Amino acid sequence: MELKIDVDGSGSVSALLDRPDDARWLLVLAHGAGAGMRHRFMGDIVRRLNDVGFAVLRYQFPYMEAGGKRVDRPPVAHAAVRAAVSKARELESALPLFAGGKSFGGRMTSQAMAGAATADSAMEAVRGLVFFGFPLHPAGKPGSERAEHLADVKVPMLFLQGTRDALADLELIRGVTDDLSEATLHVEPDADHSFAVRKSSGRDNQQVLDSLAAATADWAQSLG
């Protein structure tokens, strides 16, 4: 289903809702910095998530909708996250609601969640966050400053990370998740930031996507 979502101060953005008949959960999924909601990774992971029981609402950030290359300022991106979550809650109020994204999209979602301090926030219905490759630091510049806001997130979080992710040193991301009270780390051996693996790994990229979707469903199921 193709949709339009109104974002405060930025007009409207495009969105897609993919819902299997047997949906058990709803995930609001934001794209990464360099590619929009129709990128191959987004389409492939949505199909896998549909197969394991997730309805998925994916959407564009305003800069991507406008054809820009520079990502939105955080307040604009956060407004887009809140608008997408509100639309999802409106469309599928009976399904448990989760939010997250690929790389930049996941980080903007967690920042929006960390800033949701009021009871009437658009984010109040979100039961957990899912990160497909949390971008902990720029490539070649290890650090964990980008994770500082996660201490203010009060819902469970699932980190899906590859061992070869240049934007998230594995030991650093493990330290971050160990310090958070409700964080789960799922590691994909040999996967890079795009979850691509080498032939020598003994797996192909499609098997990695299947594993990511299965891990997400197991985690959602564990939350009850």
Domain residue spans of the chain: 2-222
Global pTM reads 0.95
Q: How far apart are CA 17 and CA 27, in angstroms?
A: 10
61: Cβ–Cβ under 8 A, 6 or more apart, which residues? 13, 30, 31, 71, 72, 76, 77, 80, 105, 108
According to the model, what pLDDT value does residue 121 have?
A: 77
CATH of 2-222, one of 3.40.50.10330, 3.40.720.10, 1.10.3470.10, 3.40.50.1820: 3.40.50.1820
Confidence category of residue 120, pLDDT binned at 50, 70, 90: low
Confidence category of residue 115, pLDDT binned at 50, 70, 90: confident
What is the tens place of the pLDDT at every residue in 187-216? 999 999 999 999 999 999 999 999 999 999
What is the tens place of the pLDDT at every residue in 124-161? 999 999 999 999 999 999 999 999 999 999 999 999 99
Q: Average pLDDT in the 38-48 region? A: 97
According to the model, what pLDDT value does residue 114 have?
A: 94
According to the model, what pLDDT value does residue 122 have?
A: 81
Residue 174 has pLDDT above 60, yes or no: yes
